[in-house]
Every structure is written in structure tokens, then in C-alpha cells.
Amino acid sequence: MSQQPGTSGLIFNEPNLWDKSRKGRCAISLPTQDVERTRLDESLTGDAPELPQLSELDIARHYTRLSQWNFGVDSGMYPLGSCTMKYNPKTNEVQAARQGFAGAHPLAGDEFSQGALKLMYNLERYLAEITGFDAVSLQPAAGAHGELTGMLIIHAFHAKNGKQRSKIIIPDTAHGTNPASASLCGYESINIKSGENGILEPEAVAAVMDEDTAGIMVTNPNTLGLFESNIKKIADIVHEKGGLVYGDGANMNAIMGVVKPGKIGIDVLHLNLHKTFSTPHGGGGPGSGPVAVVEALEPFLPIPKVVKELDTYKFVTDCPDTIGRLHTFYGHFGVLIKAYSYILSMGAKGLCDVSKLAVLNANYVKERLKGTLNLPYDMPCMHECVFNDEFQKKNHITTMDMAKRLLDYGFHPPTVYFPLVVDAAFMVEPTETESKEYIDQFIDAVKAIAKEAQDDPEKLKKAPLLTKVTRLDEVTAARKPCLRG
């Protein structure tokens, strides 16, 4: 597989449907009517919409061509660090589409929802076992929603104990949404810097932790792709002053089956089912961000809660210390089905292998590219590795230039300019689902681009050159977006 997937082959233009419309064309033959035609009262309907008139072939080609403009994980590799755009087994979609689940109504009541309730109950138990916590709520709708839920639980815990606190510690390697979640709960963010090895030092936490600090928000593995090996010492420091430890579990796919956060000092953890447990998350959703907690925080979980009494499952809402309802019903049920299917398909060993392969792939990329791109933290990484453009600066080539050029080689660019700890970051997360052959193609493309940066830097500054749309004026595009294609 030495040949790159990028090509300058045929790229279709496609006008909008109204431009293709021709009067009298129709893509469907309606059945013979058995009632007389009657015009609707225009005072009720207003002006009828001017819909395009198209043949079936017009419509088929329109959407086929649009799909060919799109790039997805089914098309090629997504080295997109921090979002885990990995391949998702199609069996998950089959299970989620089963009529008993897809046709279930959230207002049907417990009696007619036993299958759905059993699935949610079991999924909570599985997630608790995987993470090492005592209880789980599936209600949060995505990762940031799970963060907010975790912080609301911490806030409720301190209120219940009679003394609310005003501050929260947030490291520079935490996910960017952490400060926002803390602020929504009224906490002031106290930022601390990671040590020279890219991980938190206990002394830095001890220097700011006091009786007015609610706790700390730790992303582990952190946004540099490094495991916070001092987490137990840090948790002890926070607990000694009466604080709680919130764990951002968005990167759980690097430690699943290997580390149980609930056993190393974390008090509340959110998970991203749409990342770690293989449910698609392209285009902004839907997602799922369950929250797992230790026993002392279980009373504060959102309602309704799923409980089992004998062989019957039901929702309960009589929970006096709960933070309340966070979602119209009980989370994004379709996403829960896919995650449940994934866990059952993989089994305990398979879930552990996922983490091992994610870490192996990331370290393989790190070792093969560290002489090509600058590696600020040259140490074993977890699921992702972070480079920057230090080696290319002498030719006035930036991380953005290299990311744009990757499009010509047939790869979606990785995350760029994040995390902010690394200047001009180039973050690569290959995920566990990519084979060595595909990863080698990506590595070869990056090396070829680095060589172009030396031999023909002006060409790189104009990239991409082979895509349907070449380099955009991003400032103008943001200020004056063209929304019609």
C-alpha cells in the first residue's frame, strides 16, 4: 500500500436543486386517488412553497455527488486527535435500528418499556464495572453535558455538607470545555501549569489547594496524550482539604480495561460513549456523556434513575438530593444501544485490546515521525501524540500549511493548534481501528510534505491544490459565509 490515496481524478460540480428543476418533472408516481381533489384554503396555508421539480435520476445523482464531496471514516483514515473519529462496527447500527428499539416511545410507560429499561440498567452496570465506580447515570447528552453534570454533583455535595466553595483547579492540559463547565456552577477557575514532562506535579496542586477550593478537574490521559502518573498523590492532596476530583474521561479509549479511574482517587468521571464506545459523532451529534460516581455521590445523580425490583425495571424520581433532570427524557437512547452492542460484541478482553492497540498505534506514529516533525514531549504517549512545526519554520512553513497539503494526499488533517500547551500543535490520534498499512501511508505522506517544505515551500503555501475547493480566505469566509454552496 505504498500508493497514496489522494488523487486529482474526476470531481463533479453540482448545482442546487432549484437550478436543476424543470417544470413537469416528477420523481414519484402517486397511487390513484379515491377521493376528489380539493384545494387547501390559502388563508390557512399562505403562499405555497416553490419546490423543485425533478426526476428520480436527478435526485439520485444529486445526492450521490454530494456524498462524494464528503470525507468520512468509511472513506479513509481520520488522524483527528481529541475527537476519536474511528471506524464504528456496522452491527451497532443494525441493533439500534431494530423495530423494538427504534419504534419505542419515551412516554409508553415502564410496563411497555421493559426491554429499553433493561438495556439502560445493564449498560450502567457495565460502565460502572469498566470504570471502577459505584453508580452511573446515562442521562447527559454529550461530553460537555457530562462535564456540567459532574460539576453540578460536586456543587450539590458541598452544599449538602453546609459550606459551598468558590474555586476549582484546572490544569493547562485539561480539555478546553472544563473552565466553562466550572463557571456555569459559579466556580472561579484556578489554572496551574503542568511540569516539564507534560504532566501535573503534586507540589503545584498543593500550592493552590485550600478549604475554599471545591476540587480539581483532571483530564487523564491529558491533552498531550500523556498519562497523569501522579494522579493518586494529587487526589490525596485534594481529598485532605475536603475537595473532590473530577475526571474528564473523554480519552478513556487509551486506558479502558487497563486502569479503573474510580480506584485511583477520581470521585466523578464523565465518559464519551460517542468516542470510546464506537458510536458515530460526525457533524456534531448526537452524543452521550454518562457520569460515573463513587458511592458518596450517588444520591446526587440526576433523575429519573433506572432501578430493578425483582424482575421488573422502572424509573424512580423520589431522590431528595438529586441535581434534578438534565434531559427531556433519559439521554440519547439510540447512542446507548450502539454502545451497549459494542460492549457485548467486544467483551472484556476486546475492550482491553482496544486500549492497547490505540496506544501502540500512537507510539508507532510518534517514533516514526519524531525526526520529521518536532516532538516537544519525547516520552511514551497514550492514544495520541503531539508535534509542531518547529523544524519547518526556517522555510516559513506552518502547521496549517502541512495540514492543508495532507488533503491532496487523501487524508483528513489531524487536529491543529490544540492543545494550547504546544505552540502550533499538530496532534495525531490514529485510533485502534487503523491497520499498520494505513498508518504507514499517513506517515509517508507527512514525510513527503516535510520534504516539500524544504524543496518547494511556495507550493505548500498554496495547498490544497487537488481538492474541489482550494485554499480559502478563511477570514473572509468566516465573516461573509456563502451558505448556498
Query: pTM for the whole thing?
Result: 0.90
- Domain parsing of the chain, residue ranges: 91-345, 349-479
Residue 282: its pLDDT value, please? 56
Give the list of residues 6+ apart from residue 372 with CB closer than 8 angstroms, or none.
Answer: 391, 446, 447, 450
Q: What is the mean pLDDT of residues 69-91?
A: 79
Question: What's the whole-number average pLDDT of the chain?
Answer: 92
**91-345: which CATH topology?**
Aspartate Aminotransferase; domain 2 (3.40.640)
Q: In 296-381, where do the E strands start and end?
A: 305-309, 312-316
Q: Is the pLDDT of residue 164 over 70?
A: yes
Q: What is the mean pLDDT of residues 375-392?
A: 96
Q: Is the pLDDT of residue 332 over 70?
A: yes
Residue 429: its pLDDT value, please? 94
Q: Half-sphere exposure (CA, 13 Å, Cβ side) for 137?
A: 37
The arrangement of secondary structure in 349-479, i.e. its CATH architecture, is: Alpha-Beta Complex (3.90)
Q: How far apart are CA 16 and CA 473, in angstroms?
A: 23
Q: Is the pLDDT of residue 438 over 80?
A: yes
Q: How far apart are CA 109 and CA 449, in angstroms?
A: 58
Q: Which residue is listed with cell 460502572?
A: 128
Residue 275: its pLDDT value, please? 85
**Residue-wise pLDDT tens digits, 385-426:** 999 999 999 999 999 999 999 999 999 999 999 999 999 999
Under the banding of pLDDT at 50, 70 and 90, the label for residue 280 is low
Give the list of residues 6+ apart from residue 161 with CB closer than 8 angstroms, or none.
Answer: 242
Residue 134: its pLDDT value, please? 98
Share of the chain above pLDDT 70, in %: 95
**Residue-wise pLDDT tens digits, 2-50:** 688 888 777 788 889 999 999 999 988 888 888 888 877 766 666 767 8
Give the list of residues 6+ apart from residue 83 with CB closer than 8 angstroms, or none.
Answer: 275, 281, 415, 429
Q: Specify the range with the lowest mean pLDDT, choosing from 28-42, 164-178, 207-221, 336-350.
A: 28-42
Q: How far apart are CA 298 and CA 295, in angstroms?
A: 5
**Residue-wise pLDDT tens digits, 82-92:** 566 788 889 99
Under the banding of pLDDT at 50, 70 and 90, the label for residue 237 is very high
Q: How far apart are CA 97 and CA 86, in angstroms?
A: 21
Residue 303: its pLDDT value, please? 96
Contact 445, 387 (CB under 8 A): no
